[in-house]
Amino acid sequence: MSLDDLHLNLRNLTPDDYPQLQTLMDRVYDDIGGAWPKPTIDKLINEFPDGQIVIEDDQTIVGVALTALVDYDTFSNPHRYDDLIGKRETILNEPDGDAMYGLDVLIHPDYRGYRLGRRLYEARKELCRSMNLRAILAGGRIPQYHEHAHELSPAEYLDKVARKEIHDPILSFQLANDFQVKRLLRKYLPEDEKSQGYATLLEWNNILFEPAERVLENRPTQVRVGAVQWQMREFDSVEAVLQQVEYFVDALSDYKSDFAIFPELFNAPLMGLQDRAAQQDQMAAIRFLAGFTERFKTELSRMAVSYNINIIAGSMIEMGEDDLLYNIAYLCHRDGTIERQAKLHITPQERRDWVIEGGDELLVFQTDAGRVGIQICYDVEFPELSRLLADQEMDILFVPFWTDTKNGYLRVRHCAQARAIENECYVVLCGSVGNVPSVENMEIQYAQSSVFSPSDFAFPHDAVLSETTPNTEMIMFSDLDLTRLTVVRAEGSVTNLKDRRKDLFDLRWRDWSWKSGADLEES
């Protein structure tokens, strides 16, 4: 048969289709009893019409998938085929079931080789996702087992099929369609002599499933971030800086952003409020800047609540209780709470001129718009940190940065994009531009703020969702789909997180107890 002769159509089964269905099932299942009776099929169609799917070619049925709704906890454990069947060959469909059970998939022998079975399986998966069901379960026959039973146990047979040393027409097909073998079922279908009564309990897990209580929480899947590519310039007062900050927060809020992010040390021009002689002492100047941090925290938290937006307040210099200086990014939640992430890796310039210390905690923050991490500039050049955050199911990594030259910027950019790809997350890069000749170490800035994604079909071809005009003060928006992260982590072209060889290496946080935002709330 030529492909040009095919006119395929996917639709739901109807009671009028029974004569064709009976003919097809009698032909394919001649060794295990043939077709279901018409009342059985009519009842199944009536109770779960969306689950009964056919492929027709010029109105001739050539493929069928029959499905029932079941209770996951019951049928994900050992069972027999008869557990699905009631009196008079009635299929026990459970209207309130939280999983689908694949009863039959059959293809007309003349149409094998056209991947019609895969079409039916994909239709089932889409239905499972759309109904927010936990999984698709199936009891899979192993019809070639009788040829190997004299030398292989059922478990050994399954292992060889999984390694593709043996081809089993049903199990090999199921494995190729992302089903996993959960267990071996004994006496599943005693009359199945080819399988010698054995079957596999197969499961396809719906990675997008949300329990009812989570659905009611209205967990977001679409998140809008707004980044401020901030221009460094001379200010004559703290109020002038805060006024400019509030202008941007107001604008981002007007566009319904969930997050606003500012660059690293965005308030550093305030060092220029000292007289010229005092600015020459860089240690004194940076400690002078630290004196404004508490006011900025208070005002930014007020803005987060007033404008209903989560603010990543770039970073600011904080004087610790130990009288040492730290570079701190503050997350001001729109509910009024404030959390902090210290810069862990300090650049040679920061150590030499300002004597800044590195922090010792790495956190994932639970927000109302996803789980986020923050790495300040240089930290993103150390891939171990991002991987530790990814292990805590981080969705978005925010990277406020401050670089003077283009080559410095490109170090941060390339590393940030690598973190998005290897950790299958979004990375939001936000920097500053402009120049402040009157302040030491602030003569020039270079930035092109960007949002990076994983590199796969669901994302832009260059894995860049948004970016600003280089060296221009502006705001940038980007809409992030968290569902796409879930899919790419489980079913992407490559699955970096899943495929790590943990049998060869591991990564752990040394000396300090790992904490997440949720842990902090409890401690």
Would you name the residues annotated as active-site residues?
A: 264, 343, 377
Other beta carbons within 10 Å of 336: 10
Q: Are strands 356-357 and 325-332 parallel, antiparallel or unpaired?
A: parallel
Q: What are phi and psi of 203, to 5 degrees?
A: -145, 135
- Residue 201 structure tokens: 């309990």
Closest CA to 62 of 113, 124, 100: 113
What's the Rg (C-alpha) of the chain?
Answer: 30
Give Cα separations from 17 to 48, 56, 302, 343, 358 (angstroms). 16, 11, 65, 67, 71
User: Inter-axis angle of helices 238-254 and 293-306, to 10 degrees?
Assistant: 20
Q: Are strands 370-374 and 396-400 parallel, antiparallel or unpaired?
A: parallel
Closest CA to 495 of 426, 417, 421, 427: 421
What is the C-alpha to C-alpha distance for residues 20 and 40, in angstroms, rounded to an integer?
Answer: 15
Half-sphere exposure of 27 (CA within 13 A, CB side): 14
Q: Which residues contact 175 (CB under 8 A, 6 or more apart)?
A: 161, 162, 181
What is the C-alpha to C-alpha distance for residues 272 and 492, in angstroms, rounded to an integer?
Answer: 50
What is the C-alpha to C-alpha distance for residues 430 and 450, in angstroms, rounded to an integer?
Answer: 7
Residue 468 DSSP label: P
Closest CA to 201 of 115, 246, 142: 142
DSSP assignment string, 51-85:
G-EEEEETTEEEEEEEEEEE-HHHHTSS--GGGGB
Give Cα separations from 307 to 240, 241, 315, 398, 432 (angstroms). 19, 18, 20, 20, 23
Q: Helices in 330-380 by DSSP H: which ranges?
A: 348-349
What is the C-alpha to C-alpha distance for residues 64 and 174, in angstroms, rounded to an integer?
Answer: 16
Residue recorded with tokens 């210390």: 357
Q: Helices in 109-162 by DSSP H: which ranges?
A: 116-130, 154-162
Half-sphere exposure of 99 (CA within 13 A, CB side): 22
CA 58 to chain centre: 41
What is the C-alpha to C-alpha distance for residues 149 and 142, in angstroms, rounded to an integer?
Answer: 11
